[in-house]
Homo-oligomer: A and B are copies of this chain.
């Protein structure tokens, strides 16, 4: 495999005439913020532009978007943004790209465009959209596009084939190969095969489940476990799932209908998305099934179903608030909570916390840990192998995954007959040139984490997060030093205010001594600038605390003339 490991790469040279450059700006090295830039004949094509949700070491951040630095001076070269499907990790970054050039055409399927348009409305952007469907072709400058139906955990997903004079690239988007999907819309393997017959020069393949052996179960296989919940629940049923998982919600509606229950949607994004899906016909709702959540109060518990957000333990979502007892819906003994959702790595503690609290309120909690109520939206190793055999690509670039997923997917490609040296396992920012059927790593562009907080892009930096991590572990110690400007001596002992920091008197005394020493060492009559003096005192305090506290606090020092 062509790998980069921790090699430092320099900026790629300008693209050779006739060649195609592929640069992922997100989604290679993380599950999220998917974005891939294609360059050919001086023009650019963007495929997906999503967000990544922060991890523990990125506190306070709302979302992370791809780094647009390498294209920010070339926004007018962008022919279009192609969106493969409507999930946040594929569309969530679009508003931040369109901010700077709102008239970039956005190409996608009906539901995808409906979801991204609703999102853009919140950002007061009216996008220029181009609706396509599976089987369509479309030309965007030098890029010939062809769309292929794929099956995923949201309806109306598309893979996209990008044709240029440099060759044919097939991009799967997120996909699985459910052979019995609820909407009977299969991943179009005959279409993949035809593209393979034509000759796929480079294949970008979803790696999310490449480490998972075997095959992903069908969405339809969940029906028995879901029906079982509806058949046995003595009281209300509260279902939590992703607000975009139309198929899963469909199953819930069907089961609720069969069980003679009514359904109410709870939570802004759930209400909005299901409204869109229903209006467009992706969600089929039997007459009279849906009622306003507020009207459910008047029904006997055994006829009530609530469908809400919060399946990932998000603290402000409906489910967490029910678990904490601060939602208008009060849980009670006899209620059943069904978490018909995945457990995204990193959310375990939050989700288990919610499950425990629900249990303590007397609710029975059914979740993927104790019942078959979730299947993944991604192809596992088994399906991926078939995919490689059907497409027979010349070159493969696993995408959408952390390093371990990308490597696992690369190994699958090799096992399925792709020559080892034609499999490129790279990371965000690495540019790959396709020329005469050969894909080569040619350099790398910046692909930093770009943090969005309170709607502001990039104000939170790595330094902000480093400070927050230190504050989290060790708290803060504020120090006020009153210095006699004549003598450079402390006029009185330092004043300390600690928040979240555990510092005993001994350490504070040592800090005091160090500050006195540092001040005494300053050249008399030659006092440095105020800011430097703050820094001198801050460093002296830190020296004093060293090895006298279990955790190093952030020290903030203020110096005043006495």
Contact = CB atoms under 8 A, between A and B. Distances in A.
Interface of A: 3, 5-6, 29, 55-56, 59-60, 62, 211, 213, 325, 333, 345-346, 348-349, 352, 355-357, 359-362, 365, 369-370, 402-404, 407-408, 427, 453-456, 459-460, 464-465, 467-476, 478, 480, 495, 497, 499-500, 502, 549-551, 554, 556, 558, 560
B454 A359 contact: no
Given A346-B348, A472-B469, A497-B556, A5 B360 contact: yes
A515 B259 CA distance: 60
Contact of A345 (B5, B333, B352, B407): B352
Contacts of A349: 55-56, 345-346
Given A60-B551, A345-B348, 10 more contacts: A55-B349, A60-B474, A60-B475, A346-B349, A453-B551, A468-B500, A471-B472, A478-B478, A497-B556, A499-B556
Nearest to A357: B403
A534 to B, nearest CB: 8
A467 B500 CA distance: 5
Contacts of A346: 348-349
A502 B460 contact: yes
Nearest to A345: B348
B502 A558 contact: no
A362 B3 CA distance: 9
Chain A interface helix/strand/loop/mixed: mixed
A357 B355 CA distance: 32
Nearest to A211: B370
Nearest to A465: B500
Candidate in A29, A456, A471 with the most chain B CB atoms within 10 angstroms: A471
A550 B472 contact: no
Contacts of A213: 370
A468 B59 CA distance: 12
Contacts of A502: 453-454, 456, 459-460, 464
A499 B472 CA distance: 12
